[in-house]
C-alpha cells in the first residue's frame, strides 16, 4: 500500500522506520511504500497520509488547532459585557490548558457538487446521518451511502466547494443544541438564532434523529389539549400526546388554527414549538409578531427553514424541532409541536432524493417517503412517569390540491395520525371560519380527551349539525314546512353561526361549555343570524362579570351537573331578556 510523507526537513532512516511501524500497526499491513514529498509551507514537522487517513504533526496544523481553540474561547464573549481582565484570564487559561495532538483524520475528496448535494470518494467508514466538514468550513450530513462513494447534503451554500475539495469525518451524528434558553427565540434548523438576539446558552445537545418511545414507555391519551376553538374542542377533541392532522387547500386557515392553539396554551404549563418549513420569511415574521403581541412567545420556540433556505435545511427542520421538544418531554413537561407544513417537507426530500439519483416512485417521491413522516410523528407520545412523564402533541399540517385527500402525501400522513381536521375551501369562502368540515373530520381519541363538562355539553352537537345539513338540502325543494322542521333548521343555523370564531380569540373551556349549554337550550335559535355573534360576545362578558361563580364552578369541577346546567340556562335566559330589551330600545330611538 502507498503512503505519503509530507515534510520540511528530510527524515532519518530511523525516523522512516518508526513511521512505517506506526502505519503498519494502525492499518494492519507491513507492505507499505512510503512516498516522500517536500512542502515548505508546513514550516516545521510533517504530515502522514495513508488509505484516506491523515496524521498531522506539523507547525501549520498546530497553528490551525490553536486558532480553533482561540475562536471557541472568544465566541463566548460575543454580545455580552465582560471586563478586559476577565477576557484575558479566560484566553490565557485556554492557551495554557491547550494540548497539541497529532490529528487523526479520515479524509475524502469531492467528485461532484451541485444544488446542495455533494458526492465524495474516500470516506469509507462514514455512516448515515454523520456530520462531515469541508475544507471551506461548511458542514454537511451523510445522506446516501453507496459501494464506492457517499452522497452528502449541505447545510450551507455550495459556492466555495469544488471538485477535489477535502472532506473530513467528524464522527458525530447530526444534532442540535437544546435548553431552556431557547424559549422565546427564533432559530434555524441547526439551532442558531436568526432573530437578531444574542447567542443562546445551550444546556445540552441532542441528535436530530432519535428512536421513538417504545410501547411500554407510552401512556394512553387522557388529558385534554384544548385548542380554544369551539368547533374542534366540542367535536374532535385533541389530547396531550395525540397526533392530529390539519389538512386542507391553501388559504383555508390551517396556520390560523395552529396559531390559535398556541395562543390558548398561555398559563397552561405547555411549551409550544412551531416549525416553519419552506415558508416566506415575511410570513414567519408576522406570526412571531402575533405571538409577541399576545404574550405567547415566552413559552414558544420558532424553528424556521424559510423558502430561501437550501432543501437539506428544510428537510432536517422538523427533526430538529422534535429534538428540542424531546428535551422538555423527558423532563416531564408537555409540549405542543406544529409542523407547518409537511407537504413542503416531502417536496424538499423529493428534491434531495432525485439529486442523489434515487429511483422515483408515485408522484416522483422516493419509496421511503412514508418512513420520512412515520419516524417523525411516532416520536410524539405521552410517556409513563418512569420514562419521564412528559408528552409531545403533534399538529402536522398538510396542504391539498383542489381538496384531493387521496393524493400520495395526504393519504400517507392520514394513516399515521390519530385523526384529522379537514378544512374546506367552499366553507371558508362562504364565511364559515374556521372552515372545519364536520363530516370528514375525525378524532380517533374522541371523548377520552374531553373533560366531563365538555362531553356533556357537546353531547348531540354533531348529530344536530348532520340533521341540519340533510334537512337544508331537502327543504330547498319544499316551501311548506311544519313547525318542528322550522325549529330544527333555526337551531342548525344558530349552531353553524356559533362555530364561527374570530381569529386570535380562543375560548376557554368554561366559555365553550356555556355557549353549548345555551345553544342546546335553544337560546340562540330565535335570534337573527347576524345577531348571533354579537349576542354570544355580550353573553360571555355578562357571565364573566355577573356570573363568575358559574364559570369558576366549571373550571374547578370540570363537570356539568344538572343543577349547574339549569343555572347556566337560567342565567342565559335572563341575559337574553335584557339583550332584547336593549335592542328594542335602540330600534325605537
Backbone angles phi, psi at 7, to 5 degrees: -135, 170
Distance, C-alpha 141 to centroid of its chain: 20
Distance between CA atoms of residues 438 and 267, nearest Å: 29
Task: State residue 581's pLDDT score.
Answer: 87
Alpha carbon separation from 562 to 52, 299, 516 (Å, rounded): 78, 38, 14
Residue 165 grid cell: 475539495
Task: Indicate whether 99 pLDDT > 50.
Answer: no
Q: For the beta carbon of residue 306, count every other beta carbon within 10 angstroms.
A: 21
Alpha carbon separation from 43 to 12, 62, 584 (Å, rounded): 18, 11, 96
Alpha carbon separation from 7 to 43, 55, 310, 489 (Å, rounded): 9, 12, 40, 92
Alpha carbon separation from 9 to 16, 46, 53, 261, 572 (Å, rounded): 12, 8, 22, 69, 96
State mean pLDDT over 464-479. Answer: 78
Residues 6+ apart with CB under 8 A from 362: 408
State whether 444 and 558 are in the same domain. Answer: no
Distance between CA atoms of residues 584 and 576, nearest Å: 12
Question: Using an 8 Å Cβ cutoff, are 255 and 340 in contact?
Answer: yes
State whether 266 and 339 are in the same domain. Answer: yes
State whether 515 and 423 are in the same domain. Answer: no
Distance between CA atoms of residues 242 and 249, nearest Å: 23
Last residue of a domain, one of 427, 450, 473: 450
Task: State residue 68's pLDDT score.
Answer: 58
Average pLDDT, the chain: 88
Total domain count for the chain?
Answer: 4
Task: Indicate whether 515 pLDDT > 90.
Answer: yes
- We report the CATH number of the domain holding residue 578 as 1.20.150.20
- We report the CATH number of the domain holding residue 248 as 3.40.50.300
State whether 201 and 311 are in the same domain. Answer: yes
3-state SS of 225-289 is CCCCCHHHHHHCCCECCCECEEEEECCCCHHHHHHHHHHCCCCCCEEEEEEEECCCHHHHHHHHH
Last residue of a domain, one of 408, 435, 450: 450
Least confident of 37-46, 77-86, 267-276, 412-421: 77-86
Distance between CA atoms of residues 84 and 141, nearest Å: 39
Distance between CA atoms of residues 369 and 184, nearest Å: 32
State mean pLDDT over 291-308. Answer: 96
Distance between CA atoms of residues 396 and 456, nearest Å: 29
Please state, for a pLDDT cut of 90, what percent of the chain lies above it.
65
447-479 burial: b if 16+ Cβ within 10 Å, else e: ebbbbebbbbbbeebeebbeebeeeeeeeeeee
Question: Using an 8 Å Cβ cutoff, are 142 and 120 in contact?
Answer: no
Cis peptide bond prior to 544, omega within 30° of 0: no
Question: Using an 8 Å Cβ cutoff, are 128 and 115 in contact?
Answer: no
pLDDT-based confidence at 226, cuts 50/70/90? Answer: very high
Task: Indicate whether 478 pLDDT > 70.
Answer: no
Range of the domain at 188: 176-450
Least confident of 85-94, 187-196, 414-423: 85-94
Question: Using an 8 Å Cβ cutoff, are 140 and 161 in contact?
Answer: no
State whether 180 and 47 are in the same domain. Answer: no
Please list the residues that pair with 144 across neighbouring strands: 151
Task: Indicate whether 282 pLDDT > 60.
Answer: yes
pLDDT-based confidence at 224, cuts 50/70/90? Answer: very high
Task: State residue 93's pLDDT score.
Answer: 58
Task: Indicate whether 500 pLDDT > 90.
Answer: yes
Cis peptide bond prior to 173, omega within 30° of 0: no
Task: State residue 33's pLDDT score.
Answer: 80
Task: State residue 61's pLDDT score.
Answer: 67
Number of alpha carbons in the 13 Å side-chain half-sphere of residue 559: 4
Q: Residue 174: which of 236, 127, 214, 124 has the closest Cα?
A: 127
Residue 75 grid cell: 465566541
| End-to-end C-alpha distance for the chain, whole angstroms | 103
Task: State residue 58's pLDDT score.
Answer: 73
State whether 393 and 540 are in the same domain. Answer: no
pLDDT-based confidence at 350, cuts 50/70/90? Answer: very high
The helix/strand/coil state of 39 is coil
Residue 348 grid cell: 424538499
Distance between CA atoms of residues 536 and 542, nearest Å: 10
Q: Which residues are catalytic?
A: 444
Least confident of 257-271, 435-449, 497-511, 539-553: 435-449
| Residue whose C-alpha cell is 421511503 | 368
State mean pLDDT over 352-357. Answer: 93
State whether 140 and 207 are in the same domain. Answer: no
pLDDT digits (tens, 9 = 90+) for 53-94: 777 777 676 666 666 555 555 555 554 555 556 555 655 555
Task: State residue 106's pLDDT score.
Answer: 82
Question: Using an 8 Å Cβ cutoff, are 491 and 499 in contact?
Answer: no
Question: Using an 8 Å Cβ cutoff, are 23 and 50 in contact?
Answer: yes
Task: Indicate whether 103 pLDDT > 60.
Answer: no
Last residue of a domain, one of 173, 191, 211: 173
State whether 212 and 361 are in the same domain. Answer: yes
Task: Indicate whether 261 pLDDT > 90.
Answer: yes
Task: Indicate whether 100 pLDDT > 50.
Answer: no
State mean pLDDT over 117-132. Answer: 91
| Residue whose C-alpha cell is 343543577 | 563
Distance between CA atoms of residues 437 and 446, nearest Å: 16
State whether 76 and 215 are in the same domain. Answer: no
Task: Indicate whether 174 pLDDT > 90.
Answer: yes
Alpha carbon separation from 142 to 104, 273, 382, 480, 522 (Å, rounded): 20, 27, 31, 71, 62
State whether 491 and 517 are in the same domain. Answer: yes
- We report the CATH number of the domain holding residue 142 as 2.40.30.20
State mean pLDDT over 454-482. Answer: 82
State whether 320 and 431 are in the same domain. Answer: yes
State whether 285 and 425 are in the same domain. Answer: yes
| Residue whose C-alpha cell is 466555495 | 160
Least confident of 380-384, 445-449, 555-559: 445-449
Distance, C-alpha 222 to centroid of its chain: 23
Distance between CA atoms of residues 507 and 501, nearest Å: 9
Task: State residue 98's pLDDT score.
Answer: 44
User: Which comes out higher in pLDDT, residue 482 or 301?
Assistant: 301
Amino acid at each position: 500500500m502507498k503512503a505519503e510523507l509530507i515534510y520540511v526537513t528530510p527524515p532519518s532512516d530511523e525516523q522512516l522506520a518508526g513511521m512505517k511501524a506506526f502505519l503498519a500497526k494502525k492499518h494492519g499491513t507491513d507492505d507499505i511504500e512510503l512516498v516522500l514529498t517536500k512542502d515548505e509551507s508546513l514550516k516545521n514537522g510533517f504530515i502522514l497520509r495513508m488509505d484516506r487517513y491523515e496524521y498531522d504533526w506539523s507547525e501549520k496544523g498546530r497553528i490551525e488547532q490553536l486558532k480553533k481553540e482561540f475562536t471557541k474561547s472568544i465566541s463566548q464573549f460575543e454580545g455580552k459585557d465582560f471586563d478586559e481582565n476577565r477576557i484575558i484570564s479566560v484566553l490565557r487559561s485556554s492557551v495554557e490548558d491547550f494540548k497539541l495532538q497529532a490529528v487523526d483524520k479520515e479524509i475524502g475528496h469531492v467528485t461532484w457538487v451541485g444544488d446542495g448535494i455533494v458526492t465524495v470518494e474516500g470516506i469509507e467508514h462514514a455512516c448515515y446521518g454523520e456530520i462531515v466538514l469541508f475544507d471551506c468550513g461548511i458542514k454537511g450530513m451523510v445522506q446516501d451511502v453507496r459501494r464506492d462513494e457517499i452522497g452528502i447534503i449541505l447545510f450551507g451554500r455550495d459556492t466555495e466547494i469544488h471538485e477535489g475539495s477535502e472532506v473530513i469525518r467528524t464522527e458525530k451524528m447530526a444534532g442540535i443544541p437544546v435548553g431552556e434558553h431557547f424559549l422565546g427565540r427564533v432559530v434555524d434548523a441547526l439551532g442558531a438564532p436568526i432573530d437578531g438576539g444574542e447567542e443562546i446558552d445551550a444546556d445540552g445537545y441532542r441528535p436530530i434523529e432519535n428512536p421513538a418511545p417504545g410501547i411500554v414507555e407510552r401512556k394512553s391519551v387522557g388529558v385534554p389539549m384544548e385548542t380554544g376553538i369551539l368547533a374542534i374542542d366540542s367535536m374532535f377533541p385533541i389530547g396531550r400526546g395525540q397526533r392530529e392532522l390539519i389538512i386542507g387547500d391553501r388559504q383555508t386557515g390551517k396556520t390560523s388554527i395552529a396559531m390559535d392553539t398556541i395562543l390558548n396554551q398561555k398559563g397552561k404549563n405547555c411549551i409550544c414549538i412551531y416549525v416553519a418549513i419552506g415558508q416566506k420569511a415575511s410570513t414567519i415574521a408576522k406570526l412571531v409578531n402575533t405571538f409577541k403581541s399576545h404574550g405567547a412567545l415566552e413559552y414558544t420556540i420558532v424553528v424556521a427553514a424559510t423558502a430561501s433556505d437550501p432543501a437539506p435545511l428544510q428537510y432536517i427542520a422538523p427533526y430538529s424541532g422534535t429534538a428540542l421538544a424531546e428535551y422538555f418531554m423527558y423532563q416531564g413537561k408537555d409540549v405542543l409541536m406544529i409542523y407547518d407544513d409537511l407537504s413542503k417537507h416531502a417536496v424538499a426530500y423529493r428534491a434531495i432524493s432525485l439529486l442523489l439519483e434515487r429511483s422515483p416512485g408515485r408522484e416522483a417521491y422516493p419509496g421511503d417517503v412514508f418512513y420520512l413522516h412515520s419516524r417523525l410523528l411516532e416520536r410524539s407520545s405521552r410517556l409513563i412517569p418512569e420514562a419521564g412523564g412528559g408528552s409531545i402533541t403533534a399538529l402536522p399540517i398538510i396542504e391539498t390540491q383542489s381538496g384531493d385527500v387521496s393524493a400520495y402525501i395526504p393519504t400517507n400522513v392520514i394513516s399515521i395520525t390519530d385523526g384529522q381536521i379537514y378544512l374546506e375551501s367552499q366553507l371558508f369562502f362562504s364565511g364559515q371560519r374556521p372552515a372545519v368540515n364536520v363530516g370528514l373530520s375525525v378524532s380517533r381519541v374522541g371523548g377520552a380527551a374531553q373533560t366531563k363538562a365538555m362531553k356533556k355539553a357537546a353531547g348531540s352537537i354533531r348529530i344536530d349539525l348532520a340533521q341540519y345539513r340533510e334537512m337544508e338540502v331537502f327543504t330547498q325543494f319544499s316551501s311548506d314546512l311544519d313547525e318542528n322542521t322550522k325549529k330544527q333548521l333555526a337551531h342548525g343555523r344558530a349552531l353553524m353561526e356559533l362555530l364561527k370564531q374570530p381569529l386570535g380569540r380562543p375560548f376557554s373551556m368554561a366559555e365553550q361549555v356555556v355557549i353549548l349549554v345555551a345553544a342546546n337550550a335553544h337560546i340562540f335559535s330565535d335570534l337573527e343570524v347576524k345577531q348571533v355573534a354579537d349576542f354570544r360576545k355580550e353573553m360571555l362578558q355578562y357571565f364573566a362579570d355577573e356570573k363568575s361563580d358559574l364559570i369558576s364552578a366549571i373550571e374547578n369541577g370540570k363537570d356539568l351537573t344538572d343543577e349547574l346546567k339549569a343555572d347556566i340556562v337560567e342565567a342565559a335566559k335572563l341575559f337574553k331578556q335584557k339583550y332584547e330589551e336593549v335592542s328594542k330600545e335602540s330600534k325605537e330611538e
